[in-house]
Structure 1
Amino acid sequence: MSKLRVGFVGLGIMGRAMARNIHQAGFPVTVWNRTRSKMEEATAWGAKLADSPKQVAEQSDVVITIVGDTPDVKAVLTGEEGVFQGAGNGVVVIDMSTIAAEAERELASQAKALGIDYLDAPVSGGDIGAQNGTLSIMVGGEAKVLDKVRSILEAMGQRIVHCGEVGAGQTVKACNQILCGLNLLAVVEALSYAKKAGVDVEKMIEVTTQGAGGSWALANYAPRIIQGDLDPGFSVEFIQKDLRIVLQEAEQMQLPLMGTALVQQLLRSLQAHGGNPDGSHALIQVMEQLGNVEIVPNK
């Protein structure tokens, strides 16, 4: 039985590794990206190139999108040269971007009218998870559609959870981003406290990573921070986009999220000082300013 043909739209920090892992699992992959140089990089590992998202869909049984924000998703799916223009009846579209749940439901409704199956499947695990194929994938949509494409998702992730109807994946991703933001704040506060108190920061990380306060953020970001590595696995720009979505949805629910709002405001301070392209763990620089403490070397 031949492998499903996979189209991949969006070759950013996450997408380029995810698409490569799908190809390495034996699926034929056709790619499109707004910046053509990133497409040409993909030819090195065997990808076919398309001239538009529409052309990707014309050559695929399953099309995956992972782009920046809601307008970007709508453009690559519903634009004149979008996926929906080229997808035939029975094609599966999987949006792995992080956008609002309501936007996913609207797109799914449009897809259904065209005979296209639709899943929202945002991911967690950062650039490291994308490279290693160990992402957590939160899926919204029909179980039978998920079953059809599960082997493709398994090429990118270790944990694939069916969260409910379309939009449920994005809701769970929003919960994840709340946790990411607050865990990140905890990490930079702990580092600042340890440094200010004169404790060996590396030893603090070694002990606490294995304790009750341990987290993915502590294990992965704290060592990078003290080495002076603030390069983006996940940029300030994109976590701010995600937290904006969370807070907008929470406002509609009349749900106060004080911690999430605080993290967003602290990151806004970082943005005001030109930190948009840095990794989200560059939040440490705000703590350095607030506490008059130096943690990041070689600045």
Structure 2
Amino acid sequence: MLLNAFADHLDELARRTWFNVTEAKRLGMRMGEVTITEANLLSIAQFIATTGLSAELVPTKADEAVTGADFEIWFDIGGAVLGYTFQAKVLMVGSRTFSYPGIGKKDKTGTEQSELLEHQAIAVGAFPFHVLFNGWDAGLAGAPTLPSGWPARHFGCAAIATPEVRRIRSSRSTRRPVKAGHFLPSSFPWSHLFRLASSTAPSAPGGSTAIGDTGAGGSRGAGHEILPGDPVDIEALAQLARQLMVGHHHDFGSATNLPEYVRQTLEGEPGSVEQGQYAPKFAIVIRRG
């Protein structure tokens, strides 16, 4: 699988999400995070199956309200492991207001989901991101400004580093923001997480540029060796994810193995999660076919 083909598919899902969120609003409906997430994960798994790699969708018994995580994506290729853990929020459009009402959701102890998501990422060595599902009619009054360099509909699935979400939330002294306009300027299309683009690509938040593709048989540094025909440059992806953390330095992206709750399910055991353990509702694992 070429990563840029995967990124192209994510852009298609973003355009589809933008259309569906917009149409649902027009018809007096509201699509929830779970509906959009499940449809997108199914499409991702179906796409990967056409590339020669395998994709396994791993359900867990985790409670998202407790764990903070909606889904994870894991690469397990060539002896290297790389994971992303995501919290999804869908845009609500009111009378000249655009917001993510659930972005400040808390568990029973009063801890926000974004903090729990960071705990999850550190525990399993993944990178934490929020995915914001968006969509509105062109020219709609009060619509938030999107970052330049990408088509608007690619922000149907916009990603933003979870530590940046927490920074924005804590930067307001009186009322923690939920308005879309507070978050979208720091966001980027979720495809950008996986697109190893040339230096002419749009800059990531904070001014860094997407990492160039090494091409078949290339290598980066002393880490994971890229074999001829290796479809995924794990080390380059991890470097890109660190850039997209926009200066937030934590012990993210340190995984050397898949999480236990993922391995259990892949080995045919129940994918149970112990009380107090962080885990997503779903995890998709991408491996060699």
Indicate the structure with greater helix content.
Answer: 1
Structure having the higher Rg: 1
TM-score (norm 1): 0.26
Ranked by relative contact order (alpha carbons within 8 Å, sequence separation 6 or more), the top structure is: 2
